[in-house]
Amino acid sequence: MTTPGLIRLLPGQRQLIFNTDGSNARWYRVFNRGQSPMGVIYANNPGTTASLSQTIEPGRSMDFLAYRLEVRHLSGTHILDGLYEALP
């Protein structure tokens, strides 16, 4: 298992988690430890930039198979706090 990465976003900020050259998608788990919903933008096709989106509610996690994965602060004034990790 890999060491989780930290997500800390101020209102309006985005953070790129992973971007590939299109050769291999990767599984990632994103966990929202904050008080506000977290937006996730991802691409599950190698020729597309961020075409799909999901919302992760506070205290929840989601797994993504993606070629590109980005998280963003959706709303509120709180710092958005979360974790991400690559899955085997």
pLDDT tens digits, one per residue of 40-75: 999 888 776 657 999 999 999 999 999 989 999 988
Do the Cβ atoms of 79 and 13 come closer than 8 Å? no
pLDDT tens digits, one per residue of 13-47: 999 998 887 778 899 999 999 989 999 999 888 77
Q: How far apart are the C-alpha atoms of 88 and 81, rounded to whole Å?
A: 24
What strand order describes the sheet that includes 5-9? 5-9, 80-86, 26-32, 61-66
Do the Cβ atoms of 65 and 88 come closer than 8 Å? no
Residues in the chain: 88
DSSP letter at 58 equals T
